[in-house]
Amino acid sequence: MSEFDFLIIGSGIAGLTYAIKVANELPEAKIAIVTKADEKESNTKYAQGGIAVVIDEISDSYQQHVNDTLKAGDGLCKKDIVKIVVGEGPKRFKELVEWGVNFDKKNGKYDLGLEGGHSKKRILHHKDITGLEIEKTLLNQIYQKPNIHLFSQHFAIDLITEHHLNKKNDIYSRKPLCYGAYIFSTIDEKIIPFTSKITLLATGGIGQVYQNTTNPTIATGDGIAMAYRAKIILNSIEFIQFHPTALYHSTTNPSFLISEAVRGFGALLRNKSGELFMQQYDNRKELASRDIVSRAIDNELKKSGDECVFLDCRHLNIDEFKNHFPNILQKMNEIGINLKQDMIPVVPAAHYLCGGISVNEFGQSSIENLYACGECAYTGLHGANRLASNSLLEALVFADRCFQNSIKLVESIILPENIPGWNDERTTQPKELILITHNLKELQNLMSDYVGIIRSEERLEKANKRLKMLYEETEEMYKKNKISPQLIELRNMITVAYLIVQQSLKRTENKGAFYKTS
Ligand code: FAD
Ligand code: SIN
């Protein structure tokens, strides 16, 4: 058993920011960060466009950022949360700069980018590798804190809650307590309870549930599935944001993103015949919010039967492009696309989960002493559709709020002594690991085919039936076989897919990223 004051699950922007703040404030506290892969691996690392923050109150205003967020969220944002996040953004941004994150400047001022749904230029960025710059800098801070114990290749399987101690249901007349999580070290193949007074879920997104996604392979919705098994309240899981412009290259996982900032820079969308089409869908054209642009592309592809549309950068100043988007340009060079002559083939891809673990304005979940932050959390900021570059911002603001709230609680918490070890009755190795791979592929295909940008009752029912079979087969494997990361991830992804399908069946009104035909 390993005992901590703070257990943080996940090493993206949300988990790392929270850890740095706690470590600075409470140098005596014992803090653990567990992360299932290499510590750098996260959605954060791949963020391109940047962070939306009102930094220049002459050309921009808080009210305009609030309005843009509300408009993108299509009536389902929590207004008080939107005001909080937009209002606290500049302070949190300054902290990032103080920790050493380098944001691009032009003539001594921050160089602000533009993205879909924003009425003003307000995207702070580091070239087109903003996430990598943030991830590296935050980890450098973490490495310098002696009271942070960083466990990479450590996989959280399940939360430890009161029901592990007391199987009777009658204790739940109040909020049950969380005591940490069961952690699987993939280095020595041991599962041990990491007990903790405060636990933070910062496990990120779910993109890998779909066949085409911009999310790296770690994005398997583990935190959402763990929370669901612990009966924690979830919200808005049906709102999956598809990014309009992932590079069309059918065999790569994840799909390479062509940042929305490229459209903000002037790139245009054309169909295979070379025609512009966005003017038919929204008067903001290429800079409409993502849900609108993705549906427009989906519609164009359905009408034409083509496999992709094209992003046209041929009219842009390539030297300036190179300066702002060196990573994208390098990728284009690698695959033989000359931006002066060729257009970039693009398709929409699963990108972001707008819903998640329901939390209050301090990041507290429906279980005591358990917080959630970042993409796995539902704060109410995004409503039915996230405004571009509001995700890194939300993670920063809520990491601070979780920190402020949890440091007040930690001293009063006493952990029980009878926390049981992991009950591992499974003895055999999976007979054929390939069965896990087959089921994973089937899951990803069925989610892309039946639960994509445009859903229907009929398709959702089909998905439901197939999911049931996959669920039963996988549960059978889980009960009989020795645990492996692949098996846990598959099981978690099936849970997330089930939740998306169930919530999609229940939802009767089309809003933002959710669209269902009858
Ligand atoms: P992540 O950064 O995904 O971190 C999750 C961590 O949890 C990882 O370390 C993972 O390994 C770990 N983990 C997961 N499950 C387990 C488990 N079971 N046990 C242990 N560890 C676990 N947003 C913006 O605002 N601006 C952008 O420009 C932008 N660009 C993007 C570009 C791309 C290609 C992608 C994919 C996303 C982009 N986003 C952007 C979204 C944004 O990057 C993410 O929403 C945000 O980084 C999520 O941060 P996080 O800390 O919540 O999760
Ligand atoms: C992008 O750069 O297009 C991604 C921005 C985001 O997801 O907010």
Q: Is the CB of 259 under 6 A from ligand 2?
A: yes
What does the pLDDT read at residue 338? 98
- Is residue 191 domain-shared with residue 318, that is, in the same domain? no
In this structure, the answer to whether residues 23 and 149 fall within a common structural domain is yes
DSSP string, 240-262: EEEEEEEE--TT-SSPPB--HHH
Q: How far is the CA of 46 from the centre of ligand 2 (A)?
A: 9
Boundary-marking domain end, from 302, 330, 349: 349
Which ligand lies nearest to the CA atom of residue 194 in the structure? 1
> Residue 358 domain-assigned?
yes
State which of 215, 241, 257, 375 you would mutate to test the pocket of ligand 2, scoring each by most atoms of that ligand within 8 A of its C-beta.
Answer: 257
Query: Residue 337 domain-assigned?
Result: yes
In a domain, 426, yes or no: no
The CATH number linked to 331 is 3.90.700.10
* Separation CA 204–CA 90 (nearest Å): 23
DSSP letters for 10-69: --SHHHHHHHHHHHHH-TTS-EEEE-SS-TT-SHHHH--S-EE----TTT--HHHHHHHH
CA 92 / ligand 1 centre spacing (Å): 18
> What's the start-to-end Cα distance of the chain, in Å?
52
> Which of the following is catalytic: 92, 122, 263, 290?
290
Q: Do 473 and 439 have their domain in common? A: yes
Query: What tokens appear for 445 in the block?
Result: 């295909």
Do 343 and 305 belong together in one domain?
Answer: yes
Do the domain assignments include residue 428?
no
Complete edge-to-edge strand list for the sheet that includes strand 377-378: 234-235, 356-358, 377-378
User: Does 290 qualify as catalytic in the annotation?
Assistant: yes
Backbone angles phi, psi at 309, to 5 degrees: -110, -175
Pair 451, 317 in one domain: no
Q: What are phi and psi of 439, to 5 degrees?
A: -65, -35
Q: Is 289 in the pocket of ligand 2 (CB under 6 A)?
A: no
Mutate which of 44, 68, 115, 491 for ligand 1? The one with the most ligand atoms within 8 Å of its CB, which is 44
Pair 226, 159 in one domain: yes
Query: Residue 497 sits in a domain of what CATH number?
Result: 1.20.58.100
Could you tell me if the CB of 255 is within 6 A of ligand 2? no
Asked if 259 and 180 sit in the same domain, the reply is no
C-alpha to C-alpha distance for 310 and 314, rounded to whole angstroms: 11
| Domain assignment of residue 313, yes or no | yes
Ligand 2 centre distance from Cα of residue 137 (Å): 20
Among residues 375, 395, 420, the one where a domain terminates is 420
Burial bucket for residue 380 (CB in 10 Å: 0-12, 13-18, 19+)? buried
Closest CA to 252 of 287, 219, 217: 217
* Residue with CA closest to ligand 1 atom 24: 389
* Ligand 1 shell residues, CB under 6 Å: 9-15, 34-37, 41-44, 46-51, 130-131, 155-156, 202-205, 214-215, 218, 222, 257, 352, 374-375, 389-392, 395
Distance 273 CA to ligand 1 centre (A): 36
The pLDDT of residue 394 is 99
Residue having the nearest C-alpha atom to atom 14 of ligand 1 = 203
CATH of the domain at 234: 3.50.50.60
SS3 411: helix
**How far apart are the CA of 270 and the centre of ligand 1, in A?**
30
Determine the distance separating the centroid of ligand 2 and the alpha carbon of 174, expressed in angstroms.
Answer: 40
CA of residue 502 to ligand 1 center, whole Å = 24
How far, in Å, from the CA of 389 to the mean position of ligand 2? 6
Q: Let me know whether 398 and 332 are in one domain.
A: no
- Any ligand 2 atom below 6 A from CB of 385: no
- Cis link prior to 193 (omega < 30° from 0)? no
CA distance linking residue 96 with residue 138, whole number of Å: 8
Per-residue tens of pLDDT for the chain, all 518 residues: 699 999 999 999 999 999 999 999 999 999 999 999 999 999 999 999 999 999 999 999 999 999 999 999 999 999 999 999 999 999 999 999 999 999 999 999 999 999 999 999 999 999 999 999 999 999 999 999 999 999 999 999 999 998 888 766 555 678 899 999 999 999 999 999 999 999 999 999 999 999 999 999 999 999 999 999 999 999 999 999 999 999 998 678 999 999 999 999 999 999 999 999 999 999 999 999 999 999 999 999 999 999 999 999 999 999 999 999 999 999 999 999 999 999 999 999 999 999 999 999 999 999 999 999 999 999 999 999 999 999 999 999 999 999 999 999 999 999 999 999 998 776 566 667 788 999 999 999 999 999 999 999 999 999 999 999 999 999 998 988 888 999 999 999 999 999 999 999 999 999 999 999 98
Q: Does a structural domain hold residue 427?
A: no
Does residue 413 sit within a domain? yes
44 lines ligand 2 (CB under 6 A): no
What is the pLDDT at residue 363?
98
Do 315 and 372 belong to one domain? no
From the CA of 351, give the closest atom in ligand 2: 7
Domain presence at residue 211: yes
Regarding the beta carbon of 391 and ligand 2, being less than 6 Å apart is answered yes
Number of structural domains the chain divides into: 3
To test the pocket of ligand 2, the residue of 51, 53, 85, 115 to mutate (highest count of ligand atoms within 8 Å of its CB) is 115
The ligand 2 atom at the shortest distance from the C-alpha of residue 260 is 3
Out of 349, 376, 393, a domain closes at 349
Least Cα distance to 306 among 280, 342, 269 occurs for 269
Q: Which atom of ligand 2 is nearest to the CA of 387?
A: 8
Q: Tell me, yes or no, whether 28 and 101 share the same domain.
A: yes
Same domain, residue pair 52 and 142: yes
Q: What is the pTM of this model?
A: 0.97
Q: Which domain holds residue 499?
A: 434-482+484-517
Same domain, 45 and 141: yes
